[in-house]
């Protein structure tokens, strides 16, 4: 399994068929602190935040024991074609994401008050 970590964003491969209306641009996450974004700006990258698609990929990863039920799964990504596409962010090195289907997960952190998503 080829898991990608890009700052506070994880892409974990899934087998589930991803349906849902894709967003115009695959912005995986915006940084709350900097305003920078984790982006795949390529026509072969299809990101959906459709609740059914997100629930489906999350359920697959929970069932396999890869994530827990409280994970911040925020989207479902499909990269089509035969070649990798670039994942960019102003503060991180570019990664190349191979074709496939992925759950988009935001890292969590513990504070005495609660478990929350990491602020980038």
> Residue 109: what pLDDT?
54
- E-assigned strand segments in the chain: 4-6, 9-13, 26-30, 37-40, 45-48, 72-79, 85-89, 92-97, 100-106, 108-110, 115-117
The span from the CA of 90 to the CA of 47, in Å, is: 20
pLDDT value, residue 2: 83
pLDDT at 101: 97
3-state secondary structure of 23: coil
Q: Is the pTM of this model over 0.95?
A: no
State how far Cα 68 lies from the chain centre. 16
What is the tally of structural domains in the chain? 1
- Residue 63 pLDDT more than 80? yes
Per-residue pLDDT band at 90 (split at 50, 70, 90): confident
**Domain encompassing residue 52:** 4-117
């Amino acid at each position: 399994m080829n898991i990608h970590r890009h700052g506070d964003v994880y892409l974990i491969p899934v087998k589930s068929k991803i349906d849902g209306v894709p967003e115009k641009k695959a912005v995986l996450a915006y940084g709350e602190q900097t305003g920078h974004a984790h982006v795949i700006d390529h026509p072969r990258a299809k990101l959906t935040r459709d609740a059914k698609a997100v629930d489906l990929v999350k359920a697959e990863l929970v069932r396999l024991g890869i994530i827990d039920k409280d994970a911040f799964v925020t989207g479902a990504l499909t990269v089509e074609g035969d070649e990798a596409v670039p994942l960019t962010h102003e503060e991180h090195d570019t990664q190349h994401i191979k074709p496939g289907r992925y759950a988009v997960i935001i890292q969590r952190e513990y504070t005495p008050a609660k478990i929350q998503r990491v602020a980038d």
